[in-house]
Amino acid sequence: MSDFVDRVTVHVKGGDGGNGSAGIRREKFKPLAGPNGGNGGDGGSVIFVADRNATSLLDYRFMPHRVAGNGTMGLGDNKDGSKGDDLILPVPCGTVVFQARGAVGASKHPGEQLADLRHEGDRCVIAKGGAGGLGNIALANRTRRAPGFALLGEPGEERDVILELKSIADVALVGFPSAGKSSLIAAMSSAKPKIADYPFTTLVPNLGVVVAGESRYTIADVPGLIPGASEGKGLGLEFLRHIERTEIIAHVIDCATLEPDRDPISDYQALEQELALYADKLELPLGAIPIPERPRIVILNKVDVPEAKELAEFVKPEFEKMGLKVYIISTASHEGLKELNFALCALVADMRKEVAAREEAEEEARVVIKPLEVSGRRPRRADEGGNALEFTVERRELGNGEMFYEVRGAKPERWVMQTNFDNDEAVGYLADRLAKLGVEDELRRKGAKPGDEIRIGRGSRMVDFDWDPTISAGAEMLDGSNLGARGKDLRLSEQDGRAHRRTNTERRAQYHEMMDARAAVRDAMAAERKAGHWADPTIDDDRHDETSLFGRGEDVQSQEEANEE
């Protein structure tokens, strides 16, 4: 099994943001001294970084799921949660990141290009971490002085991406199978590719670093390039993309082949035709030289065979008439390799200067468009002569005749994810935000009526509810009086004696009321005693009462005295 992987699908997910805290400061004689809940920490992000020490995408094939760290929850005493750790993923230079397209469970194919990591240190945030939820100290204002809720952390961004490696090499070796490309790399560098005498021996691109004096450059071969490769025949289509980032194309031609209907000129023309067909499908990066404009050289290989050397000497003038530089070599005897090495080195140096100049020119010519500043007021609708709203409301109908209104937009969907629906006050806060944004006005304009089903968002994060526009918005007050507020704080209800701090006047009034009530009870008991409703236990009113200790005792003593007489 080869350890070279140049395309892989990876599932990445940013860390979830931590929830905010709804803590309340506790002080002596001040049970509700004010909010002190901190904000939740932001989740970490997944970041791809181009690293020259990475040579393959093999690690991502065996570990395709990568998740960044989550943020922690906020704490009391105004302590914010910690941020989740970013996940730094090294990839080889020349890696292109695509959005993965395809049905769930089916094979994915590249979609929109997200990043092109061509140079050492290039990085891109591919999955952002979720924002931490606000604590109640951040939600407090002049009217909402003691919020009994906090916002939940947002989930991190989650997506499938395709990593595609397009080798960055200075020289690309193209040629028919068994033309000697791998042998040439092994002879000019310290690379150890697999070499055999049968077609398609090389199943993966080989890279080699060549040293010429004080200069260095890289060479790569494109395995199995045959006629029809641009249409998927053989192995060529799978690895043709490795030519996109090279600066020089070197045709390695086998002059010792015994196959009929093949000669150096026809081999060269067939390879050029496949490159031309593939070039029409390319979207070259910034500053790249189109494939037809890249310099070509012809390498006539295997001249250690006498017949091959004669053939090479015969066809060399034909290639030179085409304006091509021709080098006659033998990877077996190393004939002509030194001359080829320094010639490629000089050509690479010239091409690097040209590519750098093109990139600089493209950067200067690039137009940077900055977004216009948007005021804090609600943007007008398109029919009002202004911009569109920050959300959309559409009426949807199901096949069974049911109907609902769908609300889509970055803000409403984000607010829904931040809301704890187990807390009435938090739900009321969400309703206030939606009303202030203009969602209710837009629902009325679309024809929504009380009781209609409303859905915000899609998928697993969708929330549905029945619309009730009769509830007016408002904010809860510190003394517990709800001025039309949606939701309530149980801590501020009248059943909880700690919810309301009494003033001195209220304390005096309550004290006088208690003393008056006690005096009234004493007067009532005295009146009842005077009326005979209450008996004095020291007076024996009924001597025949067996339950009376006094009466029972006197009866027993008098009976004993009578018996003695």
Q: How far apart are CA 278 and CA 244, in angstroms?
A: 10
pLDDT the model gives residue 120: 85
pLDDT at 482 over 80: no
Torsion of CA 373, 375, 380, 384, to 10 degrees: -70
pLDDT the model gives residue 476: 42
pLDDT the model gives residue 348: 86
Binding residues for GTP: 175-182, 200-204, 221-224, 301-304, 330-332
Least confident residue range of 95-99, 174-178, 425-429: 174-178
Residues 6+ apart with CB under 8 A from 341: 188, 210, 212
pLDDT the model gives residue 350: 86
564 Cα distance to chain centroid: 110
Label residue 487 by pLDDT band (50, 70, 90). Answer: very low
pLDDT the model gives residue 130: 93
Predicted TM-score (pTM) of the model is 0.65
Helix ranges, 74-158 (H): 136-139
Binding residues: 175-182, 200-204, 221-224, 301-304, 330-332
Query: For 7-165, CATH number?
Result: 2.70.210.12
Backbone φ and ψ of 326, nearest 5° = -120, 135
pLDDT the model gives residue 44: 94
Give the CATH architecture of domain 391-477. Answer: 2-Layer Sandwich (3.30)
pLDDT at 492 over 50: no
Q: What is the pLDDT of residues 214-244, one digit of tens each?
A: 788 888 777 656 555 445 454 444 556 667 7
Q: What is the pLDDT of residues 149-177, one digit of tens each?
A: 899 999 999 999 999 887 667 888 888 87
Residue count of the chain, please give it.
565
Q: How far apart are CA 409 and CA 430, in angstroms?
A: 15
Binding residues for Mg(2+): 182, 202
Q: What is the pLDDT of residues 185-201, one digit of tens each?
A: 888 876 565 554 544 44
pLDDT the model gives residue 261: 75
Q: What is the pLDDT of residues 380-426, one digit of tens each?
A: 444 444 445 688 888 888 777 788 888 888 888 889 889 888 888 88
169-363 homologous superfamily: P-loop containing nucleotide triphosphate hydrolases (3.40.50.300)
Task: List the chain domain ranges.
Answer: 7-165, 169-363, 391-477
| Better-predicted residue by pLDDT, 463 or 469 | 463
Q: What is the pLDDT of residues 122-131, one digit of tens each?
A: 999 999 999 9
Amino acid at 292: P
Q: Which helix (H) or strand (E) holds 563?
A: helix 549-564
Q: How far apart are CA 91 and CA 206, in angstroms?
A: 17
Using the CB atoms, write b or e for 180-204: b if 16+ within 10 Å: bbbbbbbbbbebebeeeeeeebbeb
